[in-house]
Amino acid sequence: MKHVIILPDLGQTTSEARIVSWLKNSGDKVAMGEPLLEVETDKATMYLEAYVGGYLRKKLASEGEIVTATNPVAIVTDTPDESFEEEAEARPASAVPAAKPLSVTGTATVVSEPVAAVPAARALARQLGIDLKRISGSGPGRLITSADVERFASRRESPAVAVSTGQENGPLLAMAALTSSSKSSIPHFYVTVDLDVSAAEAWRSRWNETHPHLRASVNDCLVRAASAALAESPRLNVRVTNGKYEQHKAADVLLVAGADSGLSLVPLSDPHAGEFEPYLGRINEALGAAREGKVRQASGAVRPVLAVSNLGMYGVKEFAAIIPPGCSSILAIGAIRDQLVLRKGEVETIKVCSVTLSADHRVVDGIAAAQFLERMQFHLNSL
């Protein structure tokens, strides 16, 4: 007889555990209560015992893999050689009643394989344009919950998530799902500095005099400087997805732009690269498309780890932003203001702009954040 060994809910603050090592090999005899594998949760490393004796026939998770509670990790059979169905379906006998197939009302077409989801999750998935079949449910009997949909939405590869559902609250729901998922799963920390943008202001004025048809804003300068600083900050150019660290080389930036229907996230590849003129063309085009609410399909290669948001045009002095899913930091830019400083005994007026970097402390530390901001100041001075 086949027995499916699951990862039980270990009563921790997360429902996930990492497989540290297998203590048995396929084919080994295991006694009831004998440890099968070692798992690591957020609190402790512990053994997972077999609830039944028999023979370990199939390992369903490999070392290093992260498994969610109640998912199967192994198949044990009573005898060493019996054949068994390799399919490890979700546990049949559940502590909570199994999801009954939901009755479909209205004009729904007949689906060959009905997906079990709570109604709120169905509604949210519809708003976000997500096919429920692509989501694995965490509820009883793999029932898909709203949280599953939010998690899936936040893990979607493409950061361009401007949603056009034809319904007014579509983008709002998307924002709700993405920000709550982000703020609850990413340990944010914040570093604020006053950037001296006097040199950038002066440079921009000169540029605008000579390029009246392709004017530059200080925001354009800040985005370019941020990208240049990111290219020199490998410790910031990292992200964590599904428990894995990724080091990035390209210094892509995700622009958070205001659109008529809400916020739009627009990826821009390597803004610091190339001449300033084509760069301005690219950023203007991107922001224009975002403003008009046109969904820009991000190319798969552009997956920025740094986002930039600017509320300076509304007179906001400084603010802290939520890191968009897929990114590991976001730069929040405030308004430019005049400030008196004392230099060599002389009072001077400089242009200052407060920026706050929100960063993911799982992969970025305060020093990396501070050094990045230092490099940004350098690039603003040397435009």
Partner 1 sequence: MNQSLLTRERRLGMYRKMLLCRMFEDRVNSLFLQGRMPGTIHQAQGQEASAVGVCEALQVGDMLTSTHRPHEHAVARGIPVKFLMAELFAKSTGCCHGKGGSMHMGDAELGMLPAIAIVGGGVPLAAGYALSFKYLKKPSVAACFFGDGAVNQGVFHETINMAAIWDLPVVFVCENNKYGASTVIDSVMKVKTVSARASAYGIPGKTVDGNDVFEVYRATLEAADRARTGQGPTLLELETYRFAGHSRSDPGHYRSKEEVAAWKKRDPIVRFETDALSSGLLTEPEIVDYRASVEAELNDAVAFAESSPSPLAEECLTDVYAE
**Contacting residues toward partner 1, per CB under 8 A:** 5-6, 8-12, 32, 41, 43-52, 69-70, 91, 93-97
d(CA 291, CA 45): 49
CA triplet 96, 133, 299: central angle to 5 degrees? Answer: 135
For the CB of residue 48, give the shortest distance to partner 1 in the complex, in Å.
Answer: 8
In the complex, the smallest distance separating the C-beta of residue 306 from partner 1, rounded to whole angstroms, is 37
Contacts of 194 (CB under 8 A, 6+ apart): 339, 352, 353, 354
15 or 180: CB nearest partner 1: 15
Q: Which is nearer to partner 1, 97 or 101 (CB)?
A: 97
**Minimal distance, residue 14 CB to partner 1, in Å:** 11
Task: Return the closest-CA partner of residue 223 out of 278, 274, 263, 279.
Answer: 279
Cβ 52 to partner 1 shortest distance, Å: 8
Backbone phi and psi for residue 331, each to the nearest 5 degrees, phi listed first: -100, 125
Which residues, at least 6 apart from 314, have a Cβ–Cβ distance to it below 8 Å?
335
Nearer to partner 1, 96 or 110 (CB): 96
Residue number, 7 or 162, with CB nearest to partner 1: 7
Give whichever of 50 and 289 is closer to partner 1, judged by the CB atom.
50
Of 105, 369, 100, 108, whose CA–CA distance to 233 is shortest? 369
State in angstroms the smallest separation of the CB of 265 from partner 1: 38
**CA-to-CA distance for 343 and 329, rounded, in angstroms?**
33
Q: Which is nearer to partner 1, 93 or 110 (CB)?
A: 93
Distance CA 108, CA 120 (A): 17
Q: How many distinct helices (H) and strands (E) make up the chain? A: 7, 16
CB 36 within 8 A of CB 23: yes
Closest separation in Å from C-beta 151 to partner 1 = 20
